[in-house]
Homo-oligomer: A and B are copies of this chain.
Amino acid sequence: MQPNSIVLIGSGNVATHLGLQLKAKDFPILQVYGHTLASAQVLGEKLGTAFTNDIASVLPQAGYYIFSLKDSALPEVLKSFPAYGGMWLHTSGSLPLSIFEGYTSCYGVLYPLQTFSKDRELDFDSVPLFIEANDDSSFNKLEALAKALSGQVYPLSSDKRKYLHLAAVFACNFTNRLYDIAYNLLEEQDINPQTLLPLIKETAAKIETMQPRDAQTGPAARNDLNILAMHRQLLQDKPELLHIYNLLTQDINSER
């Protein structure tokens, strides 16, 4: 076995960014497995390493097998995965540590709290990594890996990690959907949606120095009934948006 060597199981957004950071930190990446040969090849070539879409061809000697797959795919892949040594890790916010039970004796979770897109560069050094392992020895092995990749490493149990992932859905996925709604409203009026960017950036930057509850502004926070009524009027032919508008307005109001 080559203790620091890596096999990446998966070739999506997380595998791509993790792979690039592992390579930047001089971990030997032995191979990339992808669900399709094409996707495995793209990442394999990006990392300058071997690639396969055949589980039986996965190399046996890696120090770490890092599974970055869709959550629904991992249980199936594990069933057919060879009983190799090394440490097995997954990178999911929602799957428990125990998913590896019965397959291997040294395993853990390495959850990066970030939104990854393949074509976008990222400062991985500051991505918070949440880690968990099956025993102290595994934990130490995982912690060494995680600390080599990021300056922000935190232990976290599977139970708590579920809440972290849920919070990330609100703070990232839902937030991005609100950006999309705002863009669509402006495009319909032939207003350049990019004029929103300074506002969006400042809204995010503000909470680096203030608590979100103290940063809350706008007609809902002020309970400005005239504006709320006018906005509802503007949304009258968009029932889904009106519903979202009413719900979030009511929710902000109830916090005052």
Contacts and interface: CB of A to CB of B under 8 A. Distances in A.
Contacts of A94: 219, 226-227, 230
A217 B252 CA distance: 25
Interface string A145-184: 0000000101010001011111111111111111111110
Nearest to A92: B227
A183 B190 CA distance: 35
B164 A170 contact: no
A24 interface: no
Contacts of A25: none
A80 interface: no
A213 interface: yes
A217 B167 contact: no
Total identical chains: 2
B163 A115 contact: no
Contact of A163 (B189, B192, B224): B189
Given A162-B234, A178-B178, A167 B186 contact: yes
Contacts of A192: 154
A198 B227 CA distance: 33
A193 B186 CA distance: 32
Nearest to A216: B176
B202 A185 contact: no
Among A13, A160, A204, A243, which residue has the most Cβ atoms of chain B within 10 A?
A204
A70 interface: yes
Interface in A112-170: 113-117, 120, 122, 126-128, 152, 154, 156, 160, 162-170
A177 B224 contact: no
Given A202-B115, A204-B204, A248-B244, A196 B169 contact: no
A77 interface: no
A78 to B, nearest CB: 15
B247 A251 contact: no
A205 interface: yes
Given A167-B181, A176-B215, A240-B247, 10 more contacts: A70-B224, A117-B206, A156-B191, A165-B231, A166-B231, A166-B234, A170-B178, A170-B185, A171-B200, A179-B212
14 contacts: A70-B222, A70-B224, A113-B195, A117-B210, A126-B198, A156-B191, A164-B191, A166-B234, A167-B186, A169-B245, A172-B199, A176-B217, A240-B247, A243-B247
